[in-house]
Amino acid sequence: MNAMQKLLEFFQLEKLEENLYRAQSLDIGTGRIFGGQVLSQALAAAYRTVENKQAHSFHAYFLREGDVKKPVVFQVDRARNGRSFDNRRVVVIQHGRPILNLAASFQIEEHGYEHQVDAPKIPLPDELDEKPFLSTKQMNSLTPRMRRLMTTQGPFEFRFADDIDPFDLNKNEPIRQIWFKARHDVPDNQALHRQLMAFVSDFHLVATSTFPHPVSYLDPTLQIASLDHAMWFHHDINVNDWLLYDCFSPVASQGRGFAQGRVFTLDGRLVANTSQQGLIRQRDKARKPFVPQKK
C-alpha cells in the first residue's frame, strides 16, 4: 500500500448514527494530529450529508490539540439545504471535547462572470528537483520529533521554487512558492480531490510568516500552531497534476502570523485560495538551545 492509499484510508469515515461519524487519526511524524487531517476529515463528514453539490468554501477554528492515538468523532449539523447552496456545520470531538469547528458551504454547478489574476512567473516543476530542505549536519541538529517530521515521505511531492534555508535567521521576504502533486494516482472523484486539497493546504502556509524575523520555524523554542483556516474553491481540483501553492504573509502581530495562499494549475488557472492564522511566539523556557547550522 502506497502513501496515498494509506492516507485515503483515513477518509473512510464510519457512520455511527445519522449525522455522526468516526475516523482514525494519522501521525505524519509530529506525534499529534496534523491540522490538515482534521480539516479534510471534517470536510469529508460534511460531504456525506450533501448531494449533487461541491464544496466552494470552508472556515474552521482549531480549538485543542488532537491526540493522534485516538479516533475522532464528527458531528454534522445540516444547517441549510437550498436549491443552489447547502450549508453544514461540523464539530470535531475527541475525549468528549471539541477540537475543531468547521463551517462549509456547497453549491450546484453554475456558470457566470469570470476573471482572475495572473499566476506568478517562476520555474516550472520539471526545472526543479525534489531536494531535501536540510543537509545531514542540519538534520542531525534537530530534535527527534522535528527530524521525524522532516524525513517522513508523505503522499505529496513538493518542489520549491525558492531556496530559503530554514536555518537562515536573516530577514527574508514572507513569500514561499511550492509546486506539489500526489505521489500516486488519486481516483477521479472531485469531492475527494477537494478534501485532499484541504489536507495539503496546511503544509508550509503559516510558517511563511516567520521569514521576515530572526527565528526559524524549526526552532524548538518557537511555539507555532494553527488557530484558524479558510479555503475557497473556484474551479475543479486535480491533485494528480502539478499545482502551485503561492504563499504570502502580509502581517504578523500580537503573537499571531497571518498568511494567504493561492493555488494555480500548471497552465495558470487560479483554482483555490486559502488563508490561515497561526500562533507564533517564543516559549519562556527553551527545551534545547537552537543553534543555526550552515549547509
3-state SS class at 127: helix
Q: How confident is the model at residue 250 (pLDDT cuts 50, 70, 90)?
A: very high
Active site residue 226: yes
Tracing cell 454534522 back to the chain, one arrives at: 76
pLDDT digits (tens, 9 = 90+) for 140-191: 766 666 666 665 668 999 999 987 777 778 888 999 999 999 999 999 999 9
Cα 45 from chain centre = 17
Write the CB contacts of 162 (distance below 8 Å, at least 6 apart in sequence): 175, 176, 177
Please report the domains of the chain, with CATH numbers, ordered by start residue. Answer: 1-109 (3.10.129.10), 127-295 (3.10.129.10)
The confidence score (pLDDT) of residue 20 equals: 98
Active-site option among 25, 201, 202, 216: 202
Mean pLDDT, to the nearest integer, of 109-138? 87
Whole-number pLDDT of residue 289? 59
Q: Using the CB atoms, write b or e for 165-204: b if 16+ within 10 Å.
A: bbbeeeebebbbbbbbbbebebeeeebbbbbbbbbbbbbb
The span from the CA of 51 to the CA of 47, in Å, is: 8
Q: Which amino acid is at 16?
A: L
Question: Catalytic: which of 226, 249, 275, 277?
Answer: 226
What per-residue confidence (pLDDT) applies to 209? 94
Specify the DSSP class assigned to residue 123.
Answer: -
What pLDDT is stored for residue 169 in this prediction? 81
Can you give the pTM of this predicted structure? Answer: 0.90
Q: What's the CA gap between 216 and 20, in Å, rounded?
A: 40
Residue of 41, 138, 276, 277 marked active site: 276
Per the annotation, the verdict on 276 as an active-site residue is yes
- For range 91-96, the mean pLDDT: 96
Which tens digit of pLDDT belongs to each residue from 17-42? 999 999 998 877 667 888 999 999 99
pLDDT at 293 over 70: no
C-alpha cell at 219: 526552532
Q: Average of pLDDT values for 237-246? A: 98
pLDDT in tens, 56-75: 999 999 999 998 889 999 99
User: How many helices (H) does the chain have, and how many strands (E)?
Assistant: 5, 12
Alpha carbon distance 210, 208 (integer Å): 5
Neighbours of 21 (CB within 10 A): 22
| Residue 202 is among the residues annotated as catalytic for this protein | yes
